């Protein structure tokens, strides 16, 4: 009897078996991500316990036990939050003391940000080249809309307030600080010793002191430094110091971008016979600014959050509007409600901007492709 070696024919292969139930599907996921060991299980249980403590209480406070309607706090009889002020005061939170019949101008200026930003954020958009002219004109258009003149009713800047003041100061600071920051960054890398020293001194001084001390400069010292015949509105003075502050940070962000440009780019530009300004304007800065956009966005997020500091010198930004409202007998003691509302606003704005900058960083990071 001859024995032939056993081998399987290709068509009678055993069928694949399903992986063990405990290793796949929801159970497998749970085991791998939540209960993979004693420590992990403990952490999971602890986190679940913390959630169980926090979430129901929070929901009850914010929604189920809360009151939403009424004309003063006495209308709120529940044990939860009192949101009745929202309906009554939202205009003040948004526009401060801007005249009611003129608020469309604020809305329009805010809306026009979209077409102004689009060609910068999405450079492959059709018509981006033409829209860029609008981006350049936008700061002037917005200033005109907000302040008025030339036929529009003039609104003095001391009527600015609420979120609108935060957005105005933040946007003005970032737009004005960009060119100054570029000049400072170039100055810091300049071969001229005096220019370099002055740039470094400016950057280090403004980065080294808290914004709050600069706001005191705007409120108290600038009127002393300037001729007494010449007076600037407080909001304008604040924008001046905020711009100086932001341009120091901006300069460091752009310096980072400049340092990331390889030497070959400079040398190639010089070999083509370009002078300093044309080399910078045509070759180096377009590349450096592009990779600096995430940093610029982050600077803007920081600046936007810092605009709340103006309450220290008595401007009525949204935080101060909230503080004033809760000292009104009608709404006394609603501190937490207003703070939650304001923080949600800032969170939504800043979080979406930071997501955008993360997305940009990933798109610009060519090392992973």
Partner 1 sequence: MANSRQESGFQIRRIWSDERARSALFQILVVLGLALLVAFFVANTMANLQARGMEPGFGFLQDPAFFEINQNLIEYASTSTFGRALVVGLLNTLLVSAAGIISATVIGFLAGVFRLSNNWLVGRLIGVYVEFTRNVPVLLQIIFWWSILTGLPKVADSLSIGNSLFLNNRGVRMPAPILENGFGWVALAFLLGVFASYLVGRWARRRHMATGQPFPMLWVGLGLVVLPPLLLFVALGQPLDWDIPEKTRFNFRGGFNITPELVALWWALTTYTGAFISEIVRAGILSVSKGQSEAAHALGLRPGLTMRKIIIPQAMRVIIPPLTSQYLNLTKNSSLAIAIGYQDLVSIGNTVLNQSGQAIEVVGIWMVVYLSLSLGTSAFMNWYNSHIALVER
Q: Which of 75, 90, 125, 205 binds partner 1 (CB under 8 A)?
A: 205
Interface with partner 1 in residues 320-339 (CB under 8 A): 323, 335-336, 339
Tokens of 327: 């000292």
Distance CA 79, CA 124 (A): 53
Number of residues that bind partner 1 (CB under 8 A): 55
143 part of the interface to partner 1, by CB under 8 A? no
Q: How far is the CB of 193 from partner 1 (least distance, A)?
A: 8
* Complex with partner 1: residue 66 or 116, whichever CB lies closer: 66
Beta bridge mates, 152: 149
137 lies in the site for partner 1, by CB under 8 A: no
Among the residue ranges 10-18, 146-154, 203-211, 253-261, the one whose residues contact partner 1 (CB under 8 A): 203-211
Q: Is 168 in the site for partner 1 (CB under 8 A)?
A: no
Quick one: 119 or 257, whose CB is closer to partner 1? Answer: 257
Please report where in the chains the tokens 């026009």 appear, as a residue. Answer: 112
**Beta partners for residue 19, in sequence order:** none
Contacts of 18 (CB under 8 A, 6+ apart): 24
Shortest Å, Cβ 205 to partner 1: 7
- Interface segment toward partner 1; rule CB under 8 A; list 18-26, 72-80, 135-143, 348-356: 348-356
Measure the CA angle with vertex 232, ends 228 and 237; round to 5°: 120
The answer for residues whose C-beta is within 8 angstroms of residue 55's C-beta and 6 or more apart is none
**Which window, 41-49, 89-97, 137-145, 156-164, contacts partner 1 (CB under 8 A)?**
41-49
* R_g (Cα) of the chain, nearest Å: 29
Q: How far is the CB of 121 from partner 1 (least distance, A)?
A: 19
Q: How far is the CB of 60 from partner 1 (least distance, A)?
A: 17
> Rule CB under 8 A: is residue 22 a binding residue for partner 1?
no
Q: Which of residues 270-299 bind partner 1 (CB under 8 A)?
A: none
d(CA 110, CA 95): 12
User: Closest distance between partner 1 and the C-beta of residue 297, in Å?
Assistant: 13
d(CA 97, CA 155): 10
CB of 344 to partner 1, least distance (A): 9
Per the DSSP assignment, residues forming a β-bridge with 82 are 67
Q: Which two tokens stand for residue 20?
A: 């063990």
Q: Which of 92, 177, 243, 308 binds partner 1 (CB under 8 A)?
A: 308
Residues 76-105 that bind partner 1 (CB under 8 A): none
Residue 58 as a binder of partner 1 (CB under 8 A): the answer is no
CA distances from 241 to 31, 140, 234, 300, 339 (A): 55, 20, 11, 15, 27
Angle between helical axes of 234-260 and 162-188 (0-180°, round to 10): 40
**Residue 358 in the binding site for partner 1 (CB under 8 A):** no
Collapse the DSSP code of 70 into the 3-class scheme (helix H, G, I; strand E, B; otherwise coil) and give the result: coil
Contact of 102 with 164, CB cutoff 8 Å: no
Select the residue interacting with partner 1 from 312, 327, 332, 364 (CB under 8 A): 312
Nearest to 184 by CA among 248, 259, 256: 248
Residues 34/44, Cβ–Cβ less than 8 Å:
yes
Is the CB of residue 172 less than 8 Å from the CB of residue 239?
Answer: yes
The least CB distance from residue 359 to partner 1, in Å, is 15
Q: What are phi and psi of 317, to 5 degrees?
A: -75, -175
Contact between 232 and partner 1 by CB under 8 A: the answer reads no
220 touches partner 1 by CB under 8 A: yes
260 near partner 1, judged by CB under 8 A: no
For partner 1, the binding residues (CB under 8 A) are: 32-34, 36, 40, 43-44, 47-48, 50-51, 191-195, 198, 204-205, 207-213, 216-217, 220-221, 223-228, 301, 305-306, 308-309, 311-312, 319, 323, 335-336, 339, 342-343, 346-347, 350-351, 354
């Amino acid at each position: 009897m001859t024995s032939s070696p056993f081998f399987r024919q290709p068509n009678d292969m055993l069928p694949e078996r399903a992986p063990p139930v405990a290793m796949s599907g929801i159970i497998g996921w749970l085991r791998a991500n939540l209960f993979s060991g004693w420590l992990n299980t403990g952490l999971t249980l602890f986190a679940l316990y913390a959630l169980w403590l926090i979430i129901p209480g929070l929901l009850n406070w914010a929604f189920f036990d809360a009151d939403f309607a009424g004309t003063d706090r006495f209308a709120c009889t529940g044990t939860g939050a009192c949101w009745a002020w929202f309906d009554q005061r939202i205009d003040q939170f948004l526009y401060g003391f801007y005249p009611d019949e003129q608020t469309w101008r604020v809305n329009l200026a805010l809306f026009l940000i979209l077409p102004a930003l689009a060609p910068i954020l999405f450079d492959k958009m059709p018509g981006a080249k033409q829209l860029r002219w609008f981006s350049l004109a936008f700061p002037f258009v917005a200033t005109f809309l907000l302040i008025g003149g030339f036929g529009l009713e003039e609104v003095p800047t001391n009527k600015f307030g609420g979120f609108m003041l935060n957005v105005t100061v933040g946007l003005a600071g970032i737009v004005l600080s960009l060119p100054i920051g570029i000049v400072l960054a170039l100055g810091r890398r300049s071969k001229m010793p005096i220019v370099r020293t002055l740039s470094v001194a400016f950057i280090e001084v403004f980065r080294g002191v808290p914004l709050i001390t600069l706001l005191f400069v705007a409120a108290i010292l600038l009127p002393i430094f300037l001729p007494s015949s010449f007076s600037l509105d407080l909001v304008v003075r604040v924008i001046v110091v905020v711009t100086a502050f932001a341009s120091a940070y901006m300069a460091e962000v752009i310096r980072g971008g400049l340092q990331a440009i390889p030497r070959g780019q400079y040398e190639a530009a010089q070999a083509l016979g370009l002078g300093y300004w044309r080399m910078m304007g045509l070759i180096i800065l377009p590349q450096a600014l592009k990779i600096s956009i995430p940093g610029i966005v982050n600077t803007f997020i920081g600046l936007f959050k810092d605009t709340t500091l103006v309450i220290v010198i008595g401007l009525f930004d949204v935080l101060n509007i909230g503080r004033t409202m809760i000292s009104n007998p009608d709404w006394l003691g609603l501190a937490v409600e207003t703070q939650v509302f304001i923080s949600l606003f800032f969170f939504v704005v800043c979080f979406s901007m930071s997501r955008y900058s993360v997305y940009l960083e990933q798109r610009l990071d060519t090392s992973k492709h």
